Amino acid sequence: MNLRLAVGAALVVILGFVLLTMPFIVTQTEQAIVLQFGNPVRVVAEPGLYVKMPWESVVDYDKRVLDFDLAAARVTAADQKPMIVDAYSRFRIVNPLLFYQTIGTELAARSRLTPIMSGAVRNVISTVALADVVSGKREETMRRIRKAINDQTKGFGIAITDVRLRRADLPEANSQAIYARMKSDREREAAQYRANGDQAAAEIRADADRQRTEILAEAQKQAQILRGQGDADSIKIYADAFGRDKSFFVFYRSLEAYKNALSGQDTTFVLSPDDEFFRYFAAPPKPSGAGAAPAQR
């Protein structure tokens, strides 16, 4: 009786374990292969709850887009200019059965992708110029690299969906040399601009000095003309005045001389009282001409 109970309990435990190992779940982000003694028997691509035999096993693969980074490497472009290229790609497992049969695991797939992608990047970039890689034809270059990788990996059950260059720079030594050359070019351009500015400033100053000289010369000319006309008018007025009344003119000119000579507070004259300069201090001038009023003391 105890033996029967023990055997029954063991059978129940074994049956429960078998029943627990038979169902398996495939999520929305996975795809599975059911294996029987290591040989694939069916592929499960749709999410859901499935059942397998106890002696069967399940291998899951991610059906999402996977990232693959390629280490930065030195590549020479078609114009013999070296550059440091840092590329990455995205791929999907599109045929899980073929992927299992040719590669097996995602880690193995990354190991196989490394030399394939590195060779494709080198081969394609070696046919284009550096300027095309970093400018307008970059998208075309990426398309060619993606096609080259897909041609070599189509038998692995994966598809390369995208290839991008994260960085495409010149090596440090080349960058420093280019920077030094650019700096020299900018300094030369700056020196040229300064020289042109100095020349323009000199021309402007020379033109301004010329105009100033011409304006001053013209002003002096006009001043001389006006001064000459003024002197002529003055002489004419003096002559007319002298012609009308010579004695008064002489008297007026003497008063002007007294005013100019005796205007200072500390002016001292050492002259004889009978000197001609003081003749009007002794007696007033006599009027000249008919009809003149008599002079008064």
Give pLDDT tens digits for 145-180: 999 999 998 889 999 999 888 877 776 655 566 667
Place of tokens 């599109």: 94
Domain extent listing, the chain: 2-62, 66-170, 191-244, 245-297
* Angstrom distance (rounded) from CA 199 to CA 271: 67
Query: Is pLDDT of 201 > 70?
Result: yes
Structure tokens at 105: 């695991």
* Angstrom distance (rounded) from CA 136 to CA 142: 12
Residue among 171, 155, 160 nearest 121 (CA): 160
Per-residue pLDDT tens digits for 226-282: 888 888 888 787 777 667 767 777 777 777 777 777 666 666 767 666 666 666 666
Structure tokens at 57: 């096993």
Helices (H), the chain: 2-21, 96-102, 106-125, 130-134, 138-153, 172-244, 246-261, 279-282
* Angstrom distance (rounded) from CA 295 to CA 297: 7
Given a contact cutoff of 8 angstroms between Cβ atoms, the answer to whether 32 and 60 are in contact is: yes
Per-residue pLDDT tens digits for 52-77: 887 888 889 988 999 988 888 888 88
Place of tokens 């002696």: 55
Given a contact cutoff of 8 angstroms between Cβ atoms, the answer to whether 87 and 121 are in contact is: yes
pLDDT band at 20 (very low <50, low <70, confident <90, very high): low
Q: Can you say how many angstroms the Cα of residue 84 is from the centroid of all Cα atoms in its chain?
A: 24
Sorted by sequence, the CB contacts under 8 Å of residue 161 that are 6+ apart come out as 65, 90, 91, 92
Task: Identify the CATH class of 66-170.
Answer: alpha beta
